[in-house]
Copies of this chain bind each other. A is one copy, B any other.
């Protein structure tokens, strides 16, 4: 017999109709972004060169629920939403734990990760506001891929500045972006003044995410009808990702699942926020005592080793200062395969939730997380993204803690993406070559 909770699926019409905004429920509102030049709170005039009006309104909204436009809902089907909630029976058996383990499957998007949830919304609002081109940066390429597909669906242009090191060594995601009709430049490039300056100073540089962000902003500011898109950190990105958690709540009702611990990986914070915020809202209201655990990389452990303070969002100083847990904007993380977890800071909303005691965080090493990913592939058959392996590692640790304390508790974690374009990381792990490079 196939158990009822083996895989809880929803139908396309069950795609959420509203996003959830944690800002409305947080007892203490987070401190606002600051303009580093004036030392005053950043206003719309500081951000409008980069973002369209609809996005800026969402960025500062205090509304609890924001309607998802039908055009966005219809296109979320292309990301295979609603995504299944699945039970990890074989992983439970392998661990011999009394705990139940469920996971939400963001790996089933054709984009390979959860990034499309906000990319679609951002492309839509920019299209509605008359923007004709979006620029962005990408490291390994997951965010660039998501924005490329989304811009293509809504018929606007997309220019991606891809860190040169990745551009040269990992052509696969560049090909994906090209298939979605995006223009991809190796960064630093000769397309922007900022890029030309960097190229002149260091012609052989492999680039960095900081340089790529600066080029994307530079082009957005100077090119007609062009805006910039960011894949994490900001409030509107957290908002768009809440479809993950809202679906999960519906699925937990259907499966009569009461979570004791919900886990997601966190780099900039969008996967964790999207998965956990709707339930953290319940916790704020005292309706659940579920624990919320963010799993970060020890290569950039902003929440477990950083400071809660104002810091720049990027390396070059194009962005406002944000109140967040941060390693410092000039921090250089070691080059772990989980590229999505190498950000120096943490989303202001996630930082506020941590500061106000509604969640906890743990950090994990690269070899430990790949080991968890290997166990997951063996038991559940799915090859997880290196980022997602951090959530798996945290879930395994929790399940073993519940085993030691003989508690029949329920863990629900978010599988943020698949690892089919990160197999070289797994290959090195299997060959025993990751231990050496461990942090």
Q: Which of B2, B78, B178 contacts A15 (CB under 8 A)? A: B2
Instruction: State whether B179 touches A430 (Cβ < 8 A).
Output: yes
Interface residue A11 (Cβ < 8 Å from any Cβ of B): yes
Counting chain B CB atoms within 10 Å of each CB, the highest count among A9, A12, A178, A426 belongs to: A12
Instruction: State whether A420 touches B179 (Cβ < 8 A).
Output: no
Q: Which of B2, B171, B418, B426 contacts A175 (CB under 8 A)? A: B426
Residues of B within 8 A of A73 (CB): 2
Number of interface residues of A (CB under 8 A): 50
Interface residue A282 (Cβ < 8 Å from any Cβ of B): no
Q: Name which residue of chain B comes closest to A5, CB basis.
A: B12
Complex CA gap A178/B423 in Å reads 11
Q: Name which residue of chain B comes closest to A105, CB basis.
A: B80
Interface residue A149 (Cβ < 8 Å from any Cβ of B): yes
Interface residue A364 (Cβ < 8 Å from any Cβ of B): no
Residues of B within 8 A of A12 (CB): 2, 6-7, 9
Interface residue A112 (Cβ < 8 Å from any Cβ of B): yes
> A3-30 CB contact bits vs B (8 Å, 1 = yes)?
0101101011101000000000000000
Complex CA gap A79/B378 in Å reads 14
Instruction: State whether A110 touches B382 (Cβ < 8 A).
Output: yes
Residues of B within 8 A of A374 (CB): 179
Copy number in this complex? 2
Q: Closest CB-CB distance, A428 to chain B, in whole Å?
A: 9
Interface residue A176 (Cβ < 8 Å from any Cβ of B): yes
Residues of B within 8 A of A378 (CB): 152, 179-181
Q: Given A179-B374, A378-B152, A381-B153, are A7 and B77 neighbors across the interface (CB < 8 Å)? A: yes
Residues of B within 8 A of A13 (CB): 2, 4
Complex CA gap A90/B149 in Å reads 13
Interface residues of A in 352-403 (CB under 8 A from B): 374, 377-378, 380-383
Q: Closest CB-CB distance, A187 to chain B, in whole Å?
A: 20
Interface residue A436 (Cβ < 8 Å from any Cβ of B): no
Interface residue A70 (Cβ < 8 Å from any Cβ of B): yes
Residues of B within 8 A of A111 (CB): 381
Interface residue A1 (Cβ < 8 Å from any Cβ of B): yes
Q: Name which residue of chain B comes closest to A108, CB basis.
A: B108
Q: Closest CB-CB distance, A124 to chain B, in whole Å?
A: 14
Instruction: State whether B423 touches A176 (Cβ < 8 A).
Output: yes
Q: Given A11-B9, A179-B377, A383-B179, are A77 and B2 neighbors across the interface (CB < 8 Å)? A: yes
Residues of B within 8 A of A112 (CB): 420
Complex CA gap A13/B149 in Å reads 33
Interface residue A427 (Cβ < 8 Å from any Cβ of B): yes
Interface residue A438 (Cβ < 8 Å from any Cβ of B): no
Residues of B within 8 A of A380 (CB): 78
Complex CA gap A427/B180 in Å reads 12
> A109-121 CB contact bits vs B (8 Å, 1 = yes)?
0111000000000
Interface residue A332 (Cβ < 8 Å from any Cβ of B): no
Residues of B within 8 A of A7 (CB): 12, 77, 80
20 further contact pairs, Cβ within 8 A, besides A152-B381, A179-B430? A1-B70, A1-B74, A2-B12, A2-B73, A2-B74, A6-B12, A9-B9, A9-B11, A9-B12, A78-B380, A90-B153, A111-B381, A153-B381, A171-B423, A171-B424, A175-B424, A176-B383, A178-B427, A179-B374, A179-B383
